[in-house]
Chains A and B, each alone.
Chain A
Amino acid sequence: MSRFVWPLVGFIVLVGFLAFGLTLKPSEVPSPFINKPAPSFTLPQLASPEETFSPEAMKGKVWLLNVWASWCYACLEEHPVITALAKTHTVPIVGLNYKDVRGEAISWLERHGNGYVLSVSDTQGRVGIDYGVYGVPETFVIDKAGLIRYKHIGPVTDSAVRDTLLPLIRELEQ
Chain B
Amino acid sequence: MKHWWLTLLCAVIALPSWANSGATEKRMLDIAAELRCLVCQNESIAASRADLAVDLRQQIREQIQAGKSDAEIRTYMVDRYGDFVLYRTPLKATTLLLWFGPMLLLAFGLLVLATTLRRRKSSMADALLSDDERKRAQALLAQTTDTGT
Residue in chain B with minimal CB distance to A27 = B41
Q: Tell whether B25 is near chain A: CB-to-CB under 8 Å.
A: no
- Would you call A132 and B81 a contact (CB within 8 A)? yes
Task: Give the contacts of A12-47 with B (CB-CB under 8 A).
Answer: 27, 29-33
Report the separation of the CA atoms of residues A27 and B79 in the bound assembly, to the nearest whole angstrom: 18
Q: Tell whether B39 is near chain A: CB-to-CB under 8 Å.
A: yes
Q: Tell whether A130 is near chain B: CB-to-CB under 8 Å.
A: yes
- Would you call B59 and A129 a contact (CB within 8 A)? yes
Q: Tell whether B51 is near chain A: CB-to-CB under 8 Å.
A: yes
- Would you call A134 and B82 a contact (CB within 8 A)? no
| Bitwise interface map of B from 47 to 78 toward A, beta carbon under 8 Å scored 1, else 0 | 00001100110010000000000000000001
Determine the chain B residues whose CB is within 8 A of the CB of A30 once the complex forms: 82, 84
- Would you call B80 and A130 a contact (CB within 8 A)? yes
- Decide if the interface of chain B is mainly helix, strand, loop or mixed: helix
Whole-angstrom distance from the CB of B24 to the nearest CB of chain A? Answer: 19
Q: Tell whether A135 is near chain B: CB-to-CB under 8 Å.
A: yes
Residue in chain A with minimal CB distance to B85 = A29
- Would you call B3 and A134 a contact (CB within 8 A)? no
- Would you call B39 and A134 a contact (CB within 8 A)? yes
Determine the chain B residues whose CB is within 8 A of the CB of A131 once the complex forms: 80
- Decide if the interface of chain A is mainly helix, strand, loop or mixed: loop
Given A27-B41, A129-B55, A134-B39, decide whether A99 and B81 contact each other with a Cβ distance below 8 A. no
- Would you call B2 and A134 a contact (CB within 8 A)? no
Q: Tell whether B97 is near chain A: CB-to-CB under 8 Å.
A: no
Determine the chain B residues whose CB is within 8 A of the CB of A33 once the complex forms: 80
Residue in chain A with minimal CB distance to B78 = A32
Q: Tell whether B110 is near chain A: CB-to-CB under 8 Å.
A: no
Report the separation of the CA atoms of residues A30 and B82 in the bound assembly, to the nearest whole angstrom: 8
- Would you call B41 and A99 a contact (CB within 8 A)? no
Q: Residue B81 contacts which of A32, A101, A125 (CB distance < 8 angstroms)?
A: A32
Q: Tell whether A124 is near chain B: CB-to-CB under 8 Å.
A: yes
Determine the chain B residues whose CB is within 8 A of the CB of A126 once the complex forms: 59
Determine the chain A residues whose CB is within 8 A of the CB of B2 once the complex forms: 71
Report the separation of the CA atoms of residues A124 and B41 in the bound assembly, to the nearest whole angstrom: 22
Report the separation of the CA atoms of residues A30 and B38 in the bound assembly, to the nearest whole angstrom: 11
Determine the chain A residues whose CB is within 8 A of the CB of B81 once the complex forms: 29, 32, 132, 134
Q: Which 7 A-B pairs have the closest CB atoms?
A: A134-B38, A132-B80, A32-B82, A71-B2, A29-B84, A132-B81, A125-B55
- Taking Cβ atoms with an 8 Å cutoff, the residues of B that contact A are 2-3, 5-6, 9, 13, 38-39, 41, 51-52, 55-56, 59, 78-82, 84-85
- Taking Cβ atoms with an 8 Å cutoff, the residues of A that contact B are 27, 29-33, 71, 99, 101, 124-126, 129-132, 134-135
Instruction: Give me 8 other A-B pairs in contact (C-beta within 8 A), A29-B81, A99-B6, A125-B55 excluded.
Output: A30-B82, A30-B84, A99-B9, A124-B55, A125-B52, A129-B56, A134-B81, A135-B38
10 of the cross-chain contacts (CB-CB < 8 Å) are A29-B82, A29-B84, A31-B82, A32-B80, A99-B51, A101-B5, A125-B55, A129-B59, A132-B82, A135-B38
